[in-house]
Structure 1
Amino acid sequence: MNSTRLFALSALARRGPLHGYAIRQAAQLDRTELWTDVKPGSLYNALKRMTEEGLVRVARTERDGNPPERTVFEITAAGRAELVAQRDAALADVRLLPDPVDLALQFTPDLSPDELTTAFTARRRTVADRLAQFERERETAAPDLVGLEPLIFEHCVARLRAELAWHDDVLDRLKETT
């Protein structure tokens, strides 16, 4: 499953022929960097590869005013089949991304409980800040969300709240050792 490919194909399927910059703007508008590993800058390379594979084709080039010409892409029948395959793979794929803190915990015997408490308090504050940011983003985006899109925000908020709870548990255990 390739998130960038899934996003680009879905943008073309939903919105029709688009140039790379419009797909990049859609990624920024959808705030994909908050809830997926899609990087807007990687969309151009993905479009090039998918063109070579026959998943998208060049519909035309256009120039609006003085900017350089833009290549407009459209999804092909093979691209629609790939979109379904990518979507289905994403729905079946369960990922728990590695967090470097888990590795770091193995190498903390030289730290005092106070030092660990300081580090985890700072980490907890960062997670809480991200949760607050995400909740603000959700509130801002709410009027424009359609269909199941609110579930994306709910999923991210639930994961951040779980991360906060884990940090609270770590801090409670560290208190017991002092």
Structure 2
Amino acid sequence: MATLTTRALLLGVASIFEPANGYQLRRELLSWGVEDWAHIRPGSIYSMLATFTKQGLLERHDLREGERDVAVYTVTDAGKAELQALLREATVTVNAMDPSAFRVVLSLAPLISRADMLDALRERERRSSDTSAALLERIAFVARGLAPPHVSHSLELELRMVETERAWLAEYIGALESGALAFDGEGFEWSPPENDAGWQMVRESQHYREQLEG
């Protein structure tokens, strides 16, 4: 079963570039380095597309492209709702030892409204504080000789990672409260350089859109 991270990534990229074929989505995801930090196997992308289609999260359209048929995908209303739910879950779930799900949120932030992002970030901030308190209790437990002493080093590593993120999180929330960055519905002005490979995908998606609307 696809993890939260892989589900959010595929639905997110499909939302950005729809309509798109499987090869395009695979190519875009690999350009993000997802093999390394999200542990997505390239070959699994096609099977996930089929699964999401069966689940009603994506809609498949069979179009003619030159001498061959090509399957392109668009995100359904159910898929959009699922993506928002996944992004919120990834935001509020604190896992200092594996931040890959939260990295997906930061990568797909323009798909989230500012209000929803801030609400989820504040919940993450609260849960991070609880995590720090729990780790301190566990470190104190080890210090009383109630667990092997080397365990404290693992706990202290996790605590420092949580505390580092809490400091960063406070700055990030402050920036968003001040109007920094662009979120869903606010207009996204950034665009890649003219020679970026992503423009080819934009042109191909426009071609598919014209066929679907024609």
Normalising by structure 1, we get a TM-score of 0.49
Normalising by structure 2, we get a TM-score of 0.41
